A and B are shown apart, each in its own frame.
Chain A
Amino acid sequence: MATNEGPNERIDPADDLRRGETWGLRWRTGFDRWMGLLLPLLFAVAILPIADLVYFISAKAVPTLSWHVVTSYSDYQAHDTLGVPLMTTFLFMALATSIAVVLGLFGGIAAAEFLPERAAGWVRMSANLLAGMPSVIVGYFGYFAFVLYFGWGLSFIAGVFTLAFFMTPYVYRTADLAFSSIPRPIREAAYGSGAKPVQYILRVGAPIAFPQILTGVFLAMAIGVGETAPIILTTQPGLLVPSTVFQPAVFMTYLIWTGFSQPAGSVALTLAYQAAFFIIVVVLALNIVVRVVAGRFRKRLQGLYQ
C-alpha cells in the first residue's frame, strides 16, 4: 500500500488539530456559553429598576396631568399646576444651553485648531477638572461669583450662568474631540486649497464635526435638566414666570427636592411626581433625538478619508 494517512494512521503531531482538546479548551467554551446566558441576565438586573422607576413615576404622575395643569401660568403651589415650572425650566435650559454652547464651542475650536500644544493641554485639563467637579461645588462657585460678587442676588440669571458653567465642559469636550479627530489630510487639503483658518472651520470642519458636537450639546442638556444643586444655591424659587432676569424662578428639580418627603396626597408630592415625569420624558426624548439626528448626519459622512 502507498503511504495513506487514514484516521488511525500516525500523523505529524503539529498536524493534529485535536491535541488542543484539553481541560483548557473545555473550560473556554463552557465559560463562553455561560457568559452568553449571564450577560442578558445582568442586563435585565440593570434595566429593571430603571423600567420600574419609569413605570412608578408615570403611574403616579400621568393620571394627575391634564391640559389645564401644563398650560396654566398661575401660581403653581396655590393651583397645583405645572405651567410655571415648565416654562421657567425651559427658559433656564434655553439660556444656559446657549451660553454653554458658545463657550464650549469657542473653547473646543480654540484648543483643537488655534492654541499651541501646551496651552491646549491646560485648557483640556481644566475642562476635565470642571466636568469632574461635584455640582454642589459649581453651585457654591455660582453663589459666590454671580449672587454675591456680581450682586445679582438669588435670581434667575445667576442660576442660568451657574447651570451654563456646569454644562460647558461637556460641550467643550465633544467640540474639541470632534475638531481634533478630523483626519489630518482633510485639514491639510483645505489649507492647501487656500482656505483661511476660519474658512476651513466653517466650510470643511463644521460639517464633519457637527454630529459629534450635537451629541455633546444634547448630553449636556440631559445632564443639566436633571441638576439641582447649581440652581437651588443661586436662585430663589419663584411662584410665577419671572418678568425680569433678576427675579426668582423655579426649576423642575426643585419641586422634586422639596416635594418627595411630603405626605401622600399633598400638592407638593403631586408636583414632585409630575416634575420627575417630565424630566424623564425630556431626557429620554433628548437621547432618542440625538441618535436619530446624529445617525443621519453620520450616514452622509460615510466614505470620508479615514
Chain B
Amino acid sequence: MSGVLPASNGSVLSIQGLSVSSKDRTILDRIDLDFGPRSLTAVVGPSGCGKTTLVRTLNRMVELTPGLSVEGSVLYLGQDIYESGIDPVLVRRRIGMVFQRPTVFPMSVFENAAFGLRLIHESEEEIDRAVREALTRSGLWDEVKGDLNRSAFSLSGGQQQRLCIARALAVRPKVLLLDEPTSALDPAATQRIEATMQRLKEEIVLVLVTHNVGQAARVSDRVAFLHSGRLIEVGPTADILERPRNPLTVQFITGRFE
C-alpha cells in the first residue's frame, strides 16, 4: 500500500480490540482507544495495571519482551502496525518513545540528538538543522547550545531526559510515547518536562503514562484509566478527575490504591 491513507475516524492512532497476554495471564484485555491529532492522553492506573504494556504495543516495542502475544490491531493512519509486511523499524521512527529513566547513549549531546537521523543517513546540514530544532522543541537548546560536543553524561537527570525527548523528536515523529518520563526526576526537572509536554501537544500526538494523578491533571486533555488490564474509563481530563463514574476510578484518584 502506498500514498496517504486517510484515518478512518480522524484519529492518528487507533487501538482496536487489543489484548496482550503472557503464558499464564492476560496483561491487556480487549482495549479500544483512539488518539486524535494534537492531543495529550494520560494513561493512568495503579502499578501493574498494564499501562506501560499498553504504550509499548503502540510502536511494537512489546515485541522486545519475549513470551508476550498480541491480538487485535493498532492502526497508525489507518494501517495496522501488526500486519505482515510492516517494518517495526519504520513504525518506531514514526512513533517515538521516551522511557522512565533517561537513557542517553555514551556519546556527545549532539550525537545523542542526531542518533535517529544518522540511522537513516541524513545529510550533515539536515542533521544539524534537525538537531537544533529538536533541542529547541524539547526545551534543552538554551542550556546546551554553548557546547554541543560535551558528553551527554555531564548533563543533569532532567536535562538528560529532555535530551531523550529531543532524540525522539529529531526524526519528526507524529506520535511520542512517554512512559512515566518524570518518575526518576526531582520536582523542578519534572516541571520543565511538563512544560515541554504542554508545548508539544500543540504539535503532535502525545501519549503519557503516569501514576501521578496530579501530573495528568496538569498536562493532559484526556485521561484513560486502566485497571487490571481493562480500560475502565476514558474522557476529558476534567470529567474523569472531577466526576468519575466508575467506583474503581474514584478509588484510584482519591488515593486508595498503591
Contact = CB atoms under 8 A, between A and B. Distances in A.
Interface of A: 116-117, 183, 185-196, 199, 203-204, 207-208, 300-305
Pick the most buried of A186, A193, A196, A304: most chain B CB atoms within 10 A of its CB: A193
A179 B121 CA distance: 25
Contacts of A189: 97, 99, 103, 105, 164, 167
A305 B101 contact: yes
A191 B89 CA distance: 8
A208 B119 contact: no
Given A188-B99, A305-B101, A203 B115 contact: yes
12 contacts: A189-B99, A189-B105, A191-B61, A193-B115, A193-B171, A194-B89, A194-B116, A195-B115, A196-B119, A207-B105, A207-B106, A303-B153
B119 A199 contact: yes
Contacts of A185: 99-101, 103
Interface of B: 59, 61, 64, 66, 89-90, 92-93, 96-97, 99-107, 115-116, 118-120, 151, 153-154, 164, 167-168, 171
Contact of B92 (A183, A194, A207): A194
B64 A191 contact: yes
B87 to A, nearest CB: 9
Nearest to A207: B106
A204 B120 CA distance: 15
Contacts of A183: 103
A182 to B, nearest CB: 11
Contacts of B115: 190, 193, 195, 203
Nearest to A191: B64
Nearest to B118: A203
B164 A302 contact: no
B72 to A, nearest CB: 22
B97 A192 contact: yes
A194 B99 contact: no
A194 B105 contact: no
B179 to A, nearest CB: 10
Q: Which 10 A-B pairs have the closest CB atoms?
A: A303-B153, A194-B93, A189-B103, A192-B97, A193-B116, A194-B92, A185-B103, A301-B106, A204-B105, A186-B103
B106 A192 contact: no
A195 B167 CA distance: 12
Interface centre among A194, A195, A196 (most CB of B within 10 A): A194
Contacts of A300: 106, 151
B210 to A, nearest CB: 18
Contact of B105 (A117, A190, A196, A302): A190
A45 B66 CA distance: 51
A190 to B, nearest CB: 7
A18 to B, nearest CB: 43
A196 B87 CA distance: 10
Nearest to A187: B64
Nearest to B154: A303
B92 to A, nearest CB: 5
B238 to A, nearest CB: 32
A23 B99 CA distance: 54
A194 B164 contact: no
